[in-house]
Structure 1
Amino acid sequence: MRTEYDVVVIGSGFGGSVAALRAAEKGYSVLVLEAGARFADADFAETSWDARRYLWAPKLKCFGIQRIHKLPDVLVLAGAGVGGGSLNYANTLYVPPAPFFADRQWAGITDWQEELAPHYSTASRMLGVVVNRCEGPAERAMQAAAEAMGVGETYRKTPVGVFFGPPGQRVPDPYFGGAGPERTGCTECGNCMVGCRVGAKNTLVKNYLALAERLGVVIEPLRTVVDIAPLTSAADDVPTAYAVASVRSGAWVRKSRHTVVAREVVIAAGTWGSQQLLHALKERGRLPRLSARLGELTRTNSEALLGASLARVPDGEDLSHGVAITSSFHPDAETHVENVRYGPGSNAMGLLKSILVPGDSGHSRAGTLVRALAREPRMLNELSNRAWSQRTIIALVMQTRDNSLTVSGRRRPAGGWGLTSRQGHGEPNPSWIPSGHAAARAMATALGAETGERSFPGGSWAENLGFPMTAHFLGGAVIGATPADGVIDPYHRVWGYPGLHITDGSAISANLGVNPSLTITAQAERAMSLWPNAGDLDPRPAQGAPYVRLAPVPAQHPALRE
């Protein structure tokens, strides 16, 4: 089979979009295969109740941006579509604290904090990071909660990827000297995570992917990759190219299978998608040299989704006004809490809420919940979903603690491959976080004092049934000094298959304790900066050779000099 592209990128989220643009800048022909749909700003759902345009369930013809997956140990929220998780993430772009860079999984390879620093700067510039400008009752309550817990000095406004231009006004590209699309100033409608219909959110469609397409990158939406076959020369078994097969997403019968051949393949389908594909390829014997560490050190960011609600929408100003995440504080050195909002009418995610039930009662959480409701039936009023987004702030709790899951592949009864999990290396993945519960209670108290309304803390049904929710499913194909230590080498090449690369969240090697998007972008920027220009010698050492810290290779694409 002839090589049709130099590079095929599987997925168009933070890792895939970086790979597409930077490979094109270095003179490679690039095809991006994305399982999700493509959205113009006006195509996003108006509220989260529009299941067809909001939820991802392709077999049911729902091609929205919100994925929900269930494992035995966690409920996973993820993104879908051209632009990946940037379409429904909360715009929040923190550099993680020092424990992330010093994690024992990868700290012995290099000084990651120092080596990644310039790439964080590049990622921040590309994603348009600024300090959140929104201020209202939710933000004042967050600051008051931090002060009540004795950690007021840790309160801060979030760094976000949002264009705070003239609200609602369309202006020429403000970021890339006119090379990017026109933009519209943020109106603080609160619906960032349902899809920004205004055009103010700095999704990957507005930066990396827009610039990549100007350089000739081809993006094919609604194509789910189902196979990667190494192609070898007659002389040895080292792959010289890969045949990548994809089918039409959600198709029951006419799957429209298509195969394309490329010398290099970048796997960046998000942690769920990349792990599902890699486990299937390993189980089928397609990639037999994949490291036995595949699926290990899968992280949830040690996360919980809690909340604080008012009994009714406060007069004058509801809680849905602003961007998705606007402030945060640290109740202790290992725990980070952010306030999260949805816009008016986007109440579907409120169906996941429950009463806040501690995990140290000596009984099951579900049993404790039932007994609490039996003693005080009026607590059922707290489960009302009426105007949920306008009277609730979600408490997103994240930690840097060293806990993990081990994810493995399983054959589905109806055919195909899925994923399952068990507790992994380090501490058990937490089903409740005491400091997070304390923060939710402090937030509820502060919110009530701020608004003068009755308030109460909230939990989730998932947590009360013994497994947490996470919006940051990470790891499972982590960086390791050898194949016995990880799935990819320090240059993001798959051990045993140096023409395969992984640049998405599955390459995150430790819990960050902050939102991971900026780190995924920075790691991908570093990996792609070390690629040679098309036709040049590769400066990276062969797999198995000692690690060498390399200077970035400047791009030489002619389009950049015009």
Structure 2
Amino acid sequence: MTDFDEDVVVVGSGFGGSVAALRLAEKGYRVQVYEAGRRFEDEDFARTSWNLRRYLWAPMLGCFGVQRIHRLPHVMILAGAGVGGGSLNYANTLYQPGSAFFQDPQWRGIAEWEPELAPHYATAKRMLGVVERYPHTGPVERIMAAAADDLGVGSTFRHAPVGVWFGKPGERTPDPFFGGDGPERTGCTLCGNCMVGCRVGAKNTLMKNYLALAERRGVVVSPLRTVTEVRALPDGGFAVTTQRSGAWFRHARKTVTARQVVLAAGTWGTQQLLHRMKASGALPRVSDAVGRLTRTNSEALDGAVAVSVPEPLQLAHGIAITTSFHVDDRTHVENVRYGPGSNLMGALATVLVPGDRRLSARLRSLGTQILRSPVRQFRLGNLRRWSERGIIALVMQTADNSLTLSLRRRFGRLVMTSAQGHGEPNPSYLPQAHTAAAAIAARVEADGGVPAAARGSWPEVFGIPLTAHFLGGAVISASPADGVIDAYHRVWGHPGLHVVDGAAVPANPGVNPSLTITALAERALSYWPRRGEDDERPVQLAS
């Protein structure tokens, strides 16, 4: 295993990539991690979302923040960037999906997934420091509980399991999770800015667990390096080419060789690489199923925004997501918040329109509502103290819908595009989301004694849902005709290439997927042999 520059190159440092880095280092492999984003210390994160250079990811414009935004014809995607991937800007929410996820036809015949993954979920929870029940109750939590009661689903209400250190607020303490092997931590101050980046040091990002432990074991993490090519070598192994992220000139390209490669660049990044490398011939045996069963978690983001809220309501006080309930047996609703001052994402909010009508009807509805009450709509749309004046409703489902992604040429460049895929049409809006947002807004009004209104988003007006949970497209399958990877996360036809991020997830979990991605990665890496030992995984017979 000394014929290559590295034993394993890991592309990306999110939940899958971080698991791979640590577990492979523990098994004796030389591991190089490439991450397109920058490295953040706690004090490096933006103070609010208005600090665009530290919040948004647009490297060619000089913005090296944590928030990626991608656009496809059928969905707008929110994703993460930086060393630690989506853990830097996710909402710390670590639910385990219900049985329907494990019984999805795409993968149910391959293994008994629920019991097989159970110990790996347990490991993931321990590593990510899951607190099974958010320990505080404030105005938002009471509003959510009352809204669930109003909808007749109060029995489904619960406080969320979250990955946060709830020590003494603002007080620094030695590592409380790994017997002193991890970094020092600071108790959560409930500032609400988890999704902008935790400057306190309370959020259990991957830099506080998997990556910190991996680097102590010799893993090299190279930030601001974008992988542009993964090429299969004639005699085995791969050549991996990177360049400086966001460079207009002086790309500083570099190529290293590795016996094996782990793709964990997030669903968007991993799919981009697989599509492009298949098209270029660098990975010629990638399955034609790449891009199929791309999922959005059947998701919508709507807002229940109050016109004016007295300061005692403290809607921005707490962590990003704290509670949830089920509108029906497949629709899960969570409250979401940003902290005081982080009002940028409010620019996506607008009048709630009936999503089951044509675009012209939606636009007429929007215009009519604005003309009928222009002052009220102006106050609702005002970004001043937006994060303190309302509650975002995040709605996701276990529904079997999907998109199919492919490449098309636009202005001389190959770009990803989407089409409706297997199952129900991917929803452009969710009536359950409107119902939940209306119930939450009614409770804000009833409990706070102020006018309130349910709000939608601009993408939804134009029939484009907004998701923070982009999944699939390189899914687990029984054969290369049905998916891209086998049960051990090896790419069909290129068994030295592995996918261990959200792109591997074969179905809509209906809850936040981070814990599931971590558990799947833990399982996949548990089957790797120690360096130099025999590989007991079955040899791929299909290509």
Asked if TM exceeds 0.5, the reply is yes
CA positional deviation for 1:297: 0.4
For 2:56 and 2:176, the matched residues in 1 are separated by: 31
Match 2:263 to one of 267, 274, 289: 267
8 Å contact 2:355–2:460 — kept in the other structure?
Answer: no
Q: Could you tell me which residue of structure 2 aligns to residue 58 of structure 1?
A: 59
Q: What CA deviation, in whole Å up to 9, does each residue of 1:311-339 have, x standing for no partner?
A: 11323242110000000000100100000
3-state DSSP of counterpart to 1:68: strand
Q: Could you tell me which residue of structure 2 aligns to residue 510 of structure 1?
A: 507
For 1:133 and 1:396, the matched residues in 2 are separated by: 20
For 2:537 and 2:447, the matched residues in 1 are separated by: 56
Is the counterpart of residue 349 in structure 1 residue 345 in structure 2? yes
For 1:373 and 1:187, the matched residues in 2 are separated by: 38
Is the counterpart of residue 392 in structure 1 residue 387 in structure 2? no
Is the counterpart of residue 538 in structure 1 residue 540 in structure 2? no
One-letter identity of the residue aligned with 1:43: D
CA positional deviation for 1:535: 0.4
Alignment of 1:378-527 (within 5 A): 378-381=375-378, 382-413=380-411, 415=413, 417-527=414-524
CA positional deviation for 1:345: 0.4
Gaps (5+ residues) in structure 1? 234-239, 546-562
Match 2:221 to one of 197, 204, 219: 219
3-state DSSP of counterpart to 1:194: coil
CA positional deviation for 1:20: 0.4
Q: CA RMSD in A?
A: 1.2
8 Å contact 2:356–2:429 — kept in the other structure?
Answer: no
For 1:220 and 1:364, the matched residues in 2 are separated by: 50
CA positional deviation for 1:268: 0.3
For 2:435 and 2:539, the matched residues in 1 are separated by: 50
Q: What CA deviation, in whole Å up to 9, does each residue of 1:135-156 have, x standing for no partner?
A: 2111100000000000000000
Count of matched residue positions in the alignment of Structure 1 and Structure 2? 538
Alignment of 1:32-47 (within 5 A): 32-47=33-48
Alignment of 1:91-110 (within 5 A): 91-110=92-111
For 2:458 and 2:416, the matched residues in 1 are separated by: 22
CA positional deviation for 1:379: 4.4
Q: Could you tell me which residue of structure 2 aligns to residue 6 of structure 1?
A: 7
CA positional deviation for 1:2: 4.2
8 Å contact 2:130–2:161 — kept in the other structure?
Answer: yes
Match 1:139 to one of 121, 141, 149: 141
Q: State which drifts further: 161-170 or 353-362.
A: 353-362
Q: What CA deviation, in whole Å up to 9, does each residue of 1:141-189 have, x standing for no partner?
A: 0000000000000000000000000100000000000000000000000
Is the counterpart of residue 111 in structure 1 residue 107 in structure 2? no
One-letter identity of the residue aligned with 1:506: A
Q: Could you tell me which residue of structure 2 aligns to residue 186 of structure 1?
A: 188
Q: State which drifts further: 283-292 or 80-89.
A: 283-292
Is the counterpart of residue 154 in structure 1 residue 152 in structure 2? no
CA positional deviation for 1:440: 0.4
8 Å contact 2:309–2:448 — kept in the other structure?
Answer: no
Q: Could you tell me which residue of structure 1 aligns to residue 175 of structure 2?
A: 173
For 1:454 and 1:375, the matched residues in 2 are separated by: 16
One-letter identity of the residue aligned with 1:301: N
Q: Closer, same or farther in 2 for the Cα pair 1:364/1:404, shift >3 Å?
A: farther
8 Å contact 1:51–1:64 — kept in the other structure?
Answer: yes
8 Å contact 1:101–1:112 — kept in the other structure?
Answer: yes
CA positional deviation for 1:452: 1.6
Gaps (5+ residues) in structure 2? none
Is the counterpart of residue 197 in structure 1 residue 199 in structure 2? yes
For 1:24 and 1:339, the matched residues in 2 are separated by: 38
Q: Could you tell me which residue of structure 2 aligns to residue 314 of structure 1?
A: 310
8 Å contact 1:190–1:341 — kept in the other structure?
Answer: yes
- TM-score of the superposed pair, with normalisation by structure 1: 0.94
For 2:96 and 2:361, the matched residues in 1 are separated by: 37
Is the counterpart of residue 358 in structure 1 residue 360 in structure 2? no
For 1:467 and 1:19, the matched residues in 2 are separated by: 34
Match 1:252 to one of 223, 244, 248: 248
Percent identity of paired positions between Structure 1 and Structure 2: 64
For 1:129 and 1:283, the matched residues in 2 are separated by: 41
- TM-score of the superposed pair, with normalisation by structure 2: 0.97
One-letter identity of the residue aligned with 2:476: I
